[in-house]
Structure 1
Amino acid sequence: MGSFTGKSVIVTGAGSGIGRATAMAFAAEGAQVVAGDRSEAVHATVELIRSAGGSAYGIQGDAGEEADVIALVDTACDRHGGLDIFHANAGISGGLTGLFDCTVDLWQDILRINLIGPFLAIKYGALKMVERGKGAIVCTASVAGLRSGAGGVPYSASKAGVINLVQTSAQQLSGSNVRVNAVCPGLIETGMTKFAYEHARAAGKTDRIGRLNPMRRGGEPEEIARTVLFLASDDASYINGQAIAVDGGLSSSHPVTRQEFGKTAA
């Protein structure tokens, strides 16, 4: 372990869920982490990292605001001498909003955080990585960005935008040795999905969580974090401009009437 020893890393949305898991995983492998979140919960993440012997510094700010992203990048560079890795993870769901239930205000808020946020991370993070001769940016997209059926309309559109942003940014950074990829989580237990998990537990239906994917379970934030760390590592040195689904196999199929494993069709 310790493959990120001395690396300067930024993680947004680090107050909970995937962001917290990723920030903790980077720190556990020796990285110097700047954790950002608009919630004060980011400071709890920092305390968890420090109590485990890791290095972390927390900043409250909005990942969709240009000044706040610049402050994150400047802080990482001032404290750690530069920037090596940026996990642009912050996002909001907006609920399972249908096309005709959406307001313009909701669309603008979701796009600002979920899509403009990663754009700002790439814009300001990549330039600092170029100064070091290499770097890795990992954006959190979603299986909802791959096809319909995994989220509300504005959320899904924003995540599809992230996937395309990753592809076009990788091309824009040709020759820079800065890689840009996305991870596409499926159903993961986070603040976004808390209501669904709590409802299933209260109704005694935890067996129904994740039932639509071949693994027949939901995922854990740590499973996404491990993929993020891989994409940010030198082990993924030839992976660029890709969107990697981590979803228990959910996105591997179009909707069908599935035959149960081990059972013959009626």
Structure 2
Amino acid sequence: MRFAGKSIIVTGAGSGIGRAAAVAFAAEGGRVVVADRTEGAEETAAMIGAAAVPIRMDAADEADVVRAVALACDRFGGLDVMFANAGISGGLANLFDTSVELFADVLRVNLIGPFLAIKHGAPRIADRGGGAIVLTASVAGMRSGAGSPAYSASKAGVINLAQVAAQQLSGSNVRVNALCPGLTETGMTQPTFDYAREAGKLDRVGRLNPLRRGAKAEELARAALFLASDAASYVNGQALAVDGGLSSSHPVTRQEYGKTAV
């Protein structure tokens, strides 16, 4: 019961890693604001029960983030943990096929969202004497080869944001860390996993990492809970890769200029 009596916000909690984390936080005593822009928020809250309250929100809209923080404070007396997990993939287009509009939208959700979570969540966490903020980044933000240009750039920004925030929150006892998943079965990646299952090629998904498989959302949730817990009380400003070992080398098929990778 590492989170007994703790007030927690999880964005992107309508499915995938966010849902798994929200359920896990509640199972360990946490009281959770389940935030998502879809009906998944209510579905996840129903799975949890009385320890959860849902809210529909856009994680990159400042007014919505303010509402979510206020809800946590009103319902649960404050805020102890913010898991800024909401994100979008932006597809698989290369640099030259990516529109400015798509690039901007990916940055808005994936990078401005975590910025707003820190801006409005950290002061309330500090008011409680300290706590933790966990930002979902990606191994794609660590180096090339694991995501599209827009997605990779946004997640690299999240990693740096965690470092900057950790420094600027010096003395507050608020820790900020980035969680960097590898290929994980979530709503974002479901088409890839479904296609592989139908084609009888599931064993090829995640084959480039040493564990030779994709991750389950629950495996990433456990890492997020670690970063949010007192077990990580001296972990701050770090990027934790949970990727089956992929980022130890990032082996990829190279894409040549003007050609499509195969």
Q: TM-score range by the shorter chain?
A: over 0.9
What is the alpha-carbon distance in structure 1 between the residues aligned to residue 251 and residue 78 of structure 2? 46
**Equivalent in the alignment of 1:160:** 156
Q: How does 1:68-87 map to 2 (within 5 A)?
A: 68-87=64-83
2:113 maps to 1:113: no
**Equivalent in the alignment of 2:245:** 249
Moved over 2 A (4+): 254-257
**Equivalent in the alignment of 2:217:** 221
Q: Percent identity?
A: 68
* Matched residue SS, 1:210: coil
**Equivalent in the alignment of 1:98:** 94
- Of 170, 175, 181 in structure 2, the residue corresponding to residue 174 of structure 1 is 170
Q: How does 1:30-109 map to 2 (within 5 A)?
A: 30-50=29-49, 55-109=51-105
What is the alpha-carbon distance in structure 2 between the residues aligned to residue 3 and residue 254 of structure 1? 34
Deviations 1:130-172 (A, max 9, x none): 1111110000000000111111110110000000000000000
Shift of 1:232: 0.5
Shift of 1:244: 0.1
What is the alpha-carbon distance in structure 2 between the residues aligned to residue 16 and residue 207 of structure 1? 24
**Which region of structure 1 is more displaced relative to structure 2, 70-79 or 95-104?**
95-104
**Equivalent in the alignment of 1:11:** 10
Distance 1:206 1:176, change over 3 A: same
* Matched residue SS, 1:181: strand
Letter in 1 for 2:81: I
Shift of 1:256: 8.1
Shift of 1:254: 4.6
What is the alpha-carbon distance in structure 1 between the residues aligned to residue 48 and residue 143 of structure 2? 36
Kindly indicate whether the alpha-carbon contact (under 8 Å) linking 2:145 and 2:252 is maintained by their aligned counterparts in 1: no
* Matched residue SS, 2:212: coil
How many matched pairs?
253
**Equivalent in the alignment of 2:257:** none
* Matched residue SS, 2:184: coil
What is the alpha-carbon distance in structure 2 between the residues aligned to residue 248 and residue 105 of structure 1? 33
Letter in 2 for 1:36: A
2:207 maps to 1:211: yes
Deviations 1:31-76 (A, max 9, x none): 00001000111100000111xxx50000001000000000000000
**Equivalent in the alignment of 1:260:** none
Distance 1:256 1:19, change over 3 A: closer
| TM-score, normalised by the number of residues in structure 2 | 0.95
2:183 maps to 1:187: yes
What is the alpha-carbon distance in structure 2 between the residues aligned to residue 256 and residue 10 of structure 1? 35
* Matched residue SS, 1:100: helix
**Equivalent in the alignment of 1:263:** none
For the aligned residue pairs, the C-alpha RMSD in angstroms reads: 1.1
What is the alpha-carbon distance in structure 2 between the residues aligned to residue 200 and residue 225 of structure 1? 24
| TM-score, normalised by the number of residues in structure 1 | 0.93
Shift of 1:255: 2.9
2:229 maps to 1:233: yes
Structure 1, gaps ≥5 residues long: 258-266
* Matched residue SS, 1:174: coil
